[in-house]
Amino acid sequence: MTPDILIVSLILLAAIILLVTERFTVDVTGIGIIVVLMLTGLLTPKEAMGGFSNPAPLAVAALFVVSYGLVRTGALNFVSRMVIRYANGSRLKLMLLTLLLVGTLSAFLNNTPVVVLFMSIVMTACVRFGFTPSKFLIPLSYISILAGTCTLIGTSTNILVSDVAAGLGAAPITMFELSILGVPIALVGGAFMLMFSDFLLPAHDSPDIDSPSSPELYLSELTIPADSSLIGEKPVKGRLESRPGIKIYEVYRGQRIFRLDVTRIMLREDDLILVRASADEITRLLDQRDVSLPSCSKPHCFKALHSGVSKLVKVLIPSGSKARGTRLRDLYLADFEDVSIVGLIRRHEHYSWRKGNSQRLKVGDVLLVQVNEASLATIREEDDFIILDDDVVKDIVNWKRAPIAMVIFIAMIIATASGITDILTASFAAGFAMILTNCLNISDAYRAVDVKVIMLIIGTIALGSAMQKTGADAYYAHAFLGMFQDAGPHVILTAFILLTSLLSHFLSNNSTAVLLVPIAIATAQTLNVDPRPFIIGVAFGASACYATPIGYQTNLIVYGPAGYRFADYLRLGLPMVAIVCGGAALFIPEFWPF
């Protein structure tokens, strides 16, 4: 091992540790990789900054814009509504429609907005038909991942694999090259989930659903203002608890807490009531001015709600969020104008502001937040939060532009698939057309791009260049082959796919792909075989991250709302990993011979 290879190896190890532990956000890690590579002299500034002119991250950024244009105009909503209309109370039909529609859309679109949109639709269907959401939401995430391996633009990972491979002398992946194997694997995986997910997944009580016939319920604290008509009434068996969807647990009066004796007291001014109610019911109470919310440090926060322009929305803490580890009361979101945090949902537990403000936030936590239209836009600009509510999508759509957005999207697919132009040109043209036709404005376009992901991609591209320049990729390839001294290329390909899948469960799948493609090509060259099977193997292996909630963004999105536990992902995820990796190992050599 040369000194340069040792330095690259240490940088690689440090990057892996930082990505796994999330000590810093992924964009900071990406920038740090670039800085260290320049400081150590392994790459010149021009080489280290090469990722900024690399077609792959630019194409990924443009596709973010195109996907957001489709969501912004509501072009996907008419498809999503078909789920409830045609499910007609059948669990099998609901699962089948979800798998088919999400699978089709995710083959061409960024799957995060697709999953967020359909999660709300599926949750609504579960409430209406009396189903358990935990039986549906993991399959919803998994089918979006499966579909991503069907086309070049199905996931940014495929674009990165294609571009890195092309930079090393291999032919780029074409639009539907992966379909010959990706579609059959997706069909088999979808059929498996259709038949066995009901048996493998537990029937958790969702934190967002109290009963099959009830809406989503939240713990909240309400105070009795001086002009409330509820003063002098009993909280229990009075007008307040007689309202549908309201359950009163405690009443706080000064230093006293009424629990068992809550039925005997009369409400007074400034009493604080701990209730469980739907967001709509809380909103109606506030509109009638019989109660107010005490958790906001800015009293003017609730004036907008009383005028009917505010709402209660759910906000997810995603992986990589700076909010992770912060106490709820210290969260900077509460400092935004006209934003109030009402409560916290953590798997099966609900926390009101009083009970939960000292909790340190974790990945997968869901906040119940009161916002108005302006503050919604502010939250959307933050990378540290994901808004889960379907109402948000409905509020921002520009329905009249939906056909135009769909035409632009289809034209991009045709232009790329037919070879008229490359994916970078087509995606940039499509994104530009979305802006010109007012499907979204330039601010929306900037907001659509996940800068953290782009910076991580650019950083890992620089690290991949350093591996190639120093010969570290060939060194790692020889070390890998040393574990399979007399094995043939089929066995080594299988091991490489499994290694890629394993790493993608703990690292970003984009990072895994960028780092392993050079090693895959070097491995094939050492074996004197065509590197194509190994390149395709990395593409499939990097997306085979089903066994943990942190392996893929969509896995995390469904984690909290369905009340999943870590082990639930293993139950269905391990068979899915076996299907994808096994199918890839068996049939890649058939379609892409050595």
pLDDT tens for residues 133-161? 888 999 999 999 999 999 998 888 899 89
Q: pLDDT tens, 230-246?
A: 787 776 656 666 665 67
Q: Is 80 exceeded by the pLDDT of residue 485?
A: no
Please, is 280 exposed, middle or buried when counting C-beta atoms within 10 Å of its C-beta (0-12, 13-18, 19+)? middle
Three-class secondary structure of residue 310 per DSSP: strand
Confidence band for 582, pLDDT divided at 50, 70 and 90 = very high
Q: For the whole prediction, is pTM greater than 0.95? A: no
The DSSP bridge pattern shows strands 310-316 and 386-387 to be antiparallel
Q: Is 50 exceeded by the pLDDT of residue 210?
A: no
DSSP string, 480-517: HHHTTTT--HHHHHHHHHHHHHHHHTTS-HHHHHHHHH
- The confidence score (pLDDT) of residue 268 equals 82
Closest CA to 59 of 154, 123, 139: 154
Read off the tokens for 146: 């499966």
Domain ranges of the chain: 1-210+399-594
Between 303 and 317, name the one with better pLDDT.
317
What is the CA 574 to chain-centroid distance, rounded? 20
**In angstroms, rounded to a whole number, what is the distance separating the alpha carbons of residues 58 and 149?**
20
Contacts of 223 (CB under 8 A, 6+ apart): 270, 271, 272, 273, 291, 292, 293, 294
- The confidence score (pLDDT) of residue 229 equals 78
Q: Is 80 exceeded by the pLDDT of residue 471?
A: yes
Confidence band for 261, pLDDT divided at 50, 70 and 90 = low
Q: Is 60 exceeded by the pLDDT of residue 32?
A: yes
Confidence band for 294, pLDDT divided at 50, 70 and 90 = low
- The mean pLDDT of 53-73, rounded to a whole number, is 83
**In angstroms, rounded to a whole number, what is the distance separating the alpha carbons of residues 286 and 422?**
54
Closest CA to 243 of 211, 286, 307: 286
Read off the tokens for 154: 């199905």
Three-class secondary structure of residue 327 per DSSP: strand
Stretch among 46-60, 302-316, 414-428 having the lowest mean pLDDT? 302-316
Contacts of 216 (CB under 8 A, 6+ apart): 123, 127, 208, 209, 210, 278, 279
- The answer to whether the beta carbons of residues 557 and 115 sit under 8 Å apart is yes
**In angstroms, rounded to a whole number, what is the distance separating the alpha carbons of residues 459 and 450?**
15
- Percent of the chain residues past pLDDT 70, beyond the cut: 81
Contacts of 583 (CB under 8 A, 6+ apart): 181, 184, 185, 188
- The confidence score (pLDDT) of residue 109 equals 81
Residue 119 half-sphere exposure, CB side, CA atoms within 13 Å?
30
Q: pLDDT tens, 104-135?
A: 988 988 787 788 778 877 877 776 777 888 88
Summary mean pLDDT of the chain: 80
Between 435 and 401, name the one with better pLDDT.
435
Q: Is 90 exceeded by the pLDDT of residue 568?
A: no
- The answer to whether the beta carbons of residues 464 and 513 sit under 8 Å apart is no
Q: Is 50 exceeded by the pLDDT of residue 301?
A: no
Between 381 and 149, name the one with better pLDDT.
149
